[in-house]
């Protein structure tokens, strides 16, 4: 189900992937991006990540982390005429919705994968949270998320 959700924003993920690749290919581009980040006082604890397309959680994390820098990307685009992959404000809105929704699945996947050694009493409450998240979006007026 998660890969299906990511397919909904595939063109946006492609823009973000190309943006991150473009920045990471050149130390001077990355430095300029970092300067803008500091000027805008954006927290840098997340950094930019590139995904591994066969692992949905890394594909989820890439736009989730990039969303932190959405204003930095727009400022960077104004300073670099060769940068061509800037997501639109509408794209960023979709990224925010999808990542918020998929964040629940990411957290539960980590919990169930053995990294936290979940117990049976935690399992039920986490599955319930997923059910609640799905129900919330099913009943939502937001046609994009339905």
Is residue 54 assigned to a domain? yes
Q: What is the pLDDT of residues 90-124, one digit of tens each?
A: 999 999 988 888 888 888 777 777 655 656 667 77
Compute the distance between CA of residue 143 and CA of residue 135 in angstroms, rounded to an integer: 14
Which one of 56-65, 81-90, 96-105, 135-144 scores highest in mean pLDDT? 81-90
Question: Does some domain include residue 146?
Answer: no
Rounded CA-CA distance 137/92 in Å is: 19
Instruction: Please indicate, yes or no, if residue 144 is contained in any of the structural domains.
Output: no
| Distinct helix (H) and strand (E) counts, the chain | 7, 0
pLDDT at res. 37 = 96
pLDDT digits (tens, 9 = 90+) for 7-64: 777 899 899 999 999 999 999 999 999 999 999 999 988 899 998 878 878 888 999 9
**Cα(8)–Cα(145) distance, integer angstroms:** 10
Into how many domains does the chain fold?
1
User: Containing domain of residue 62, as a range?
Assistant: 2-138
């Amino acid at each position: 189900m998660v890969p299906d959700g990511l397919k909904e924003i595939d063109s946006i993920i492609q823009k973000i992937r190309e943006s991150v690749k473009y920045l990471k290919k050149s130390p001077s581009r990355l430095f300029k991006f970092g300067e803008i980040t500091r000027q805008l006082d954006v927290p840098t604890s997340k950094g930019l990540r590139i995904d591994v397309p066969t692992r949905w959680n890394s594909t989820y994390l890439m736009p989730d982390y990039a969303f932190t820098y959405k204003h930095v990307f727009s400022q960077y685009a104004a300073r670099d005429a060769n940068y061509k992959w800037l997501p639109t404000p509408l794209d960023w809105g979709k990224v925010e919705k999808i990542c918020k929704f998929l964040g629940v699945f990411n957290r539960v996947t980590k919990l169930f994968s053995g990294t936290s050694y979940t117990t049976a009493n935690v399992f039920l409450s986490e599955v319930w949270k997923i059910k609640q998240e799905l129900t919330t979006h099913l009943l939502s007026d937001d046609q994009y998320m339905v």
